[in-house]
Amino acid sequence: MAGRSKLLFLVEDDANVLLMTSLILARLGYSVKKFTSGEEALAAIGVLGPHIVVCDFNLPDLTGVEVLDAIRQRAPSVFRVMVTGNAGDASVQSGLDSATVQVLLEKPFSIKSLCEALFLVERGETGRVFRYKH
């Protein structure tokens, strides 16, 4: 659990996934700021300073790897989780190899898997690749 409310950016273009995931994250104690594009999230990074970013891979403007790489460069202390149904994509693997993606959560995912991914990233266990499947 998040303890005191920590700001989490949720970047997801699917309205249903965005709504359900944000409700779960809020229930876990996070203060959730929702974005439907990578550019929107990047514009808010310096202003709002999130603790964690959970970002979908397939966005309308940028890939999740591009978003998380920009976040890593601008705010390296922000934890980065990517959600995807395309774990085999070459750019996903590149993001993992470069540590741009600290934790990968494969879709579809369970609430338990989401909690485990957040727990690991909050503990700083990002030196290895963690893959979760429901």
> Which domains does the chain show, CATH number per domain?
7-124 (3.40.50.2300)
CA angle 43, 115, 84 (to 5 degrees): 55
Q: Which of 10-14, 54-58, 72-76, 85-89 has the lowest mean pLDDT?
A: 85-89
What distance in Å separates the CA atoms of residue 38 and residue 61, rounded to the nearest whole number?
Answer: 6
Contacts of 52 (CB under 8 A, 6+ apart): 6, 7, 8, 9, 30, 78, 79, 80, 81, 118, 121, 122
- Express each pLDDT in 116-126 by its tens digit: 889 888 887 76
* Pick from 36, 3, 38: nearest CA to 22: 36
Which pLDDT band, with edges at 50, 70 and 90, does 129 fall under?
low
Element (H, E) at 17: helix 15-27
Q: What is the mean pLDDT of residues 79-102?
A: 83
Q: Alpha-carbon distance 132 to 16, whole Å?
A: 21
Distances (CA, A) of 44 to 11, 68, 123: 12, 13, 25
Reply yes or no on whether the pLDDT at 1 is more than 80.
no
Tell me: the pLDDT tens digits for 23-65?
999 999 999 999 999 999 999 998 999 999 999 999 999 999 9
